[in-house]
Amino acid sequence: MSPTPLARRLRLGLPRRMFSQVLLMQVAIAAGVAVLATGLFLAPLSDQLDDQAMRRALAIAQTTAAEPQFAESVVNTPARADGPVQREAERIREATRAEYVVVMDTRGVRWSHPTRAEIGRTVSTDPGQALAGHEVMEIDDGTLGRTARGKVPLRDGDGDIVGAVSVGIAYDSVRARLIHAIPGLLAYAGGALAVGALAAWFISRRVQRQTRDLAFSDISALLAEREAMLHGIREGVVALDRTGRIRLLNDEARRLLGIGDEAVGRSLDEALGAGRTTDVLAGRVTGTDLLTVRGQRVLVANRMPTDDGGAVATLRDRTELEQLGRELDSTRGLIDALRAQDHEHANRMHTLLGLLELEMYDDAMEFIGEVVGDHRATAEEVTEKIRDPLLAALLVGKATVAAERGVALMVSPRTRLPDRLIDPRGIVTIVGNLVDNALDAVAGTPHARVEVELRAQGRAVALTVHDTGPGIPAEQRELIFTDGWTTKERPAHRGRGIGLSLVRRLAERQGGSADVGEADGGGAQFTVVLPEALSEPPLEPALSGPSAHESTVDEESR
């Protein structure tokens, strides 16, 4: 909406362009500073000139009082207009260009004065301090006007005070000197103002180029819109200066990175610590849509340099999408397992049908018993050693998928894990990732085998997964746990490379560790230790303990 005529008049003719406004403000500031500096200089200069005048008057009075003939004449001769005191005092006045040189006795009667008629009369100002032996400097009004004066006692040869000497310098002469100095000061001030105006013009031109000649209201509106946009979008935004220090964080970036306003002004290494997230935001890792893990969040980061040498990084939360992807992977795994079982079931049905058609009924019954016993033995072997249902179901499903891929997935005879897991989903994620990587590693190799071992030691759980694959070179054993590292082909597995990173982060979240080494006989061996993975055992064994489970299995067998 355009401003009303009244609003336009209330602007008092001020220009809207930032260049003009900044120039006017800076010129006004320079002029004010010049005037203030001139005033601040003149004030002490006036005091300084006053002090110099009073000290000069005092020095003349001291010199006059030091002449011995003045004390003798005041004591021995009367006060006359043509007396020796008047003649000598006038000589000193003319020689020093003082306004007056007055010699008085102890009663304050003048013995000398520029106006002869004043000789023999009492002085117009109080001579008490000088007659008391004190030297006086002051600016005061007398019969000759406003003067800067100095008064000293007049002593005879014995040091006794016989009178006083008062010398005055016309104050107008001091003011004239001050006024005479003002044009020079104004010339300097004008020169400084001209230099300031020129500097203000150059600064205004620079501001004009940098702000693209926007008005202050436009900049204010842009800032308000920027704040609303930055804090309203659901992507994290991190702005960095040319030195790599954080200069802006929006609300989403604070949430995703787990940092607050205290991080602003600090470097990424100080605010986030060492890691892939810091390397990605700092530009030490290049690329687009880079995956990184911060805490329990999977983030997608992009970085764009700015003209001033800094950069702006955006962060998207991919945690939910990654969880959905893993659920989809689990669903696909289940589908693969069902497909494998269906294929195996069809082969067994065909075999059973052939035995029945050949009327080999005893062989058919024996075949059915073997098939049912093998399937039950595989499930029971896992559930007897691993009492957590989620983890047992995961390994049973993985065993079916492994068999489909020609890999023997085995559970170590030393495996023993009670049903007291504090975070079963976290351990399922760890085991699932390690088993999937092992199956990928041994795929296509002869006598492919993967073995899983889970052991409880007090409240700790030790997990070992080793395979018969090619193994991990020693120089890459730490690298494989970083975000984005993968041995898979990028086009077929785009966005991978965070599984092992999540394994280590989940382990470290529980105060544990995740490492990789070489297995006996070759291949890779991953070891995960979780020191606080199990809850405290109950004081008394529950009825639904291992014995109950075993009795249920026995009943099913019968």
pLDDT in tens, 218-274: 666 666 666 666 666 778 888 898 888 888 888 888 888 888 878 888 888 888 888
Return the pLDDT at 165.
Answer: 93
pLDDT 10s digits, 181-222: 667 766 776 777 777 777 777 776 776 666 666 665 666 666
More confident residue, 550 or 485: 485
At the second CATH level, the architecture of 218-317 is 2-Layer Sandwich (3.30)
Under 8 Å CB-to-CB from 313, ≥6 apart: which residues? 237, 238, 239, 240, 280, 281, 301, 302, 303, 304
Return the pLDDT at 176.
Answer: 61
CATH topology for 322-557? Heat Shock Protein 90 (3.30.565)
pLDDT-wise least confident of 11-15, 139-143, 410-414: 11-15
pLDDT 10s digits, 413-457: 899 988 888 878 788 888 888 998 888 888 888 888 899 999 998
In this predicted structure, the answer to whether residue 544 has a pLDDT above a threshold of 50 is: no
More confident residue, 88 or 372: 88
In the chain, pLDDT over 90 holds for what percent of residues? 7
pLDDT 10s digits, 12-64: 444 555 556 666 776 777 777 777 766 666 666 667 777 888 888 899 989 88
Q: What kind and span of H or E run contains 430?
A: helix 424-442
Q: Where do the CATH 3.30.565.10 domains begin and end in the chain?
A: 322-557
- What CATH number does the domain located at 15-214 have? 3.30.450.20
Return the pLDDT at 539.
Answer: 57
Q: Where do the CATH 3.30.450.20 domains begin and end in the chain?
A: 15-214, 218-317
Q: How far apart are CA 238 and CA 39, in angstroms?
A: 50
pLDDT-wise least confident of 85-89, 90-94, 359-363: 359-363
Res. 492 pLDDT band, cuts 50 70 90:
very low
Q: Give Rg (Cα) of the chain.
A: 52
The residue among 507, 511, 457, 460 whose CA lies nearest residue 481 is 507
